[in-house]
Amino acid sequence: MIPISKTILKKNEINSVLKPLKSGWLVQGQNVAEFENSWSSFTNSNYSIATTSCTSGLHLSLMALDLKPDSEVIVPAFTWISTANVVEQMGAKPIFCDINPDTFNIDVSKIERLITKKTQGIIPVHLFGLAADMKEINYIAKKYSLWILEDAACGFGSLYKNKHVGTIGDIGVFSLHPRKSITTGEGGMITTNHKKFDKSLRILRDHGANTSDFKRHHGNKPYELCDHTLPGLNQRMTDIQGILGLSQMERAQKIVNERRKIANEYNIAFKNINELKTPSEDKGFVHGYQSYPCLLKVDKLNVNEIKKMNAKRNKLMIKLLKKGISTRPATHAVHMLAYYKTKYSFKPNDFLNSFYANDCSISLPLYNGMKKSEYNYVIDEVLKIIK
């Protein structure tokens, strides 16, 4: 069976977790701090703040950005549900924007018309490792005095005009879930170039405390409890996860290069398959290939045609599964998920490209440590079935 994704860690990475386990200090400490530093070096961001997931990182970021209840935030309609859920959790309203099916990212030509007096910010998503069009998003944000929170969940190793994603807007957040390039089991990493956000995010992830546990326990007044200046949460990463992440950072660029190599093998093999749109990167973009999402082409973009192609996509997934190959829809159209569909009475064609991507996309297996024989087998079977 070839899984959609698999975590294959090196021996030293597996063994690294023994160090904190033996040390007696398991919660956020020096290993998390070192992991944060190495993340900052790799992404060239001034500050990195580790957390328990990308979702919690996005949530904390909206707190740091002072998102007000009843205000609005623009988010793409095709993304993992967290991007919208965190806005709802703050009592604000996600305003969905359709995507460009060529990139799976927010269609920047449709953002401006969604801006109202209530809009506070934009959450562009660098979906599957391809950067959103940040030049245009920056221009709009500046024009209307909006903040930008980059959902860089899938963006490790992804560049936009030589800048690592997550360092272009006000704050960026990465996921460390096992389907991502670097993993700590569950986990997230927030990046920012602004000292004020670094300060508030560290406090917010730690019960609103003005000193970390590690500092207090290792300082000269460990008996003194600290003050709490904000109504924070506990979203701290453990030191066990910290060292696991840190140990993978030693081969960070190799991890990205390997993913790009496998994706390139797929790109070459599927180049002449007209029915399948494979991922691509324009000049100025470096794709991090968190996954390998393809789109089955339709003759006409309407709900009926999409539904017909959806049936074919599902058959393709079943046939591949029978051959031992796992695939997945690339991600979901959030406006079609029960909570949002019911609350806002959405119809498929309110965000037709997102509906299309939801129904007609297929991600192929891609992971570090994937053998040549494995991706060649995927290529052969996809070609046989589609032809």
Ligand X SMILES: Cc1ncc(COP(=O)(O)O)c(C=O)c1O
CB of 328 to ligand X, least distance (A): 11
- Single residue of 80, 160, 266, 289 touching ligand X by CB under 6 A: 80
Residue 36, φ and ψ in degrees, nearest 5: -60, -45
CB of 186 to ligand X, least distance (A): 6
Q: Of the two residues 77 and 382, which places its CB atom closer to ligand X in the complex?
A: 77
Question: Across the chain, how many H-helices and E-strands are there?
Answer: 14, 15
Tell me the number of residues near ligand X by CB under 6 A. 14
5 binds ligand X (CB under 6 A): no
Instruction: Tell me if 159 sits within 8 A of 165, measured CB to CB.
Output: yes
Q: Of the two residues 36 and 151, which places its CB atom closer to ligand X in the complex?
A: 151
**CA atoms of 55 and 187, how far apart (whole Å):** 9
Which tokens is 40 given? 């900052």
- Single residue of 54, 65, 159, 364 touching ligand X by CB under 6 A: 54
**CA atoms of 200 and 379, how far apart (whole Å):** 48
Query: What kind and span of H or E run contains 198?
Result: helix 195-204
105 binds ligand X (CB under 6 A): no
Q: How far apart are the first and last CA of the chain?
A: 22
∠ at Cα 371 (366, 376), nearest 5°?
Answer: 80
- Single residue of 111, 153, 201, 296 touching ligand X by CB under 6 A: 153
- Single residue of 16, 38, 43, 82 touching ligand X by CB under 6 A: 82
CB of 87 to ligand X, least distance (A): 12
CB of 128 to ligand X, least distance (A): 8
CA of 323: how far to CAs of 229, 282, 312, 326, 327, in Å?
A: 57, 33, 17, 9, 11
Stretch that binds ligand X, among 147-155, 164-172, 208-216, 371-379 (CB under 6 A): 147-155
Which residues ranging from 172 to 191 are in contact with ligand X (CB under 6 A)?
A: 175, 177, 188
**Which residue ranges make up the site for ligand X (CB under 6 A)?**
53-55, 79-80, 82-83, 125, 151, 153-154, 175, 177, 188
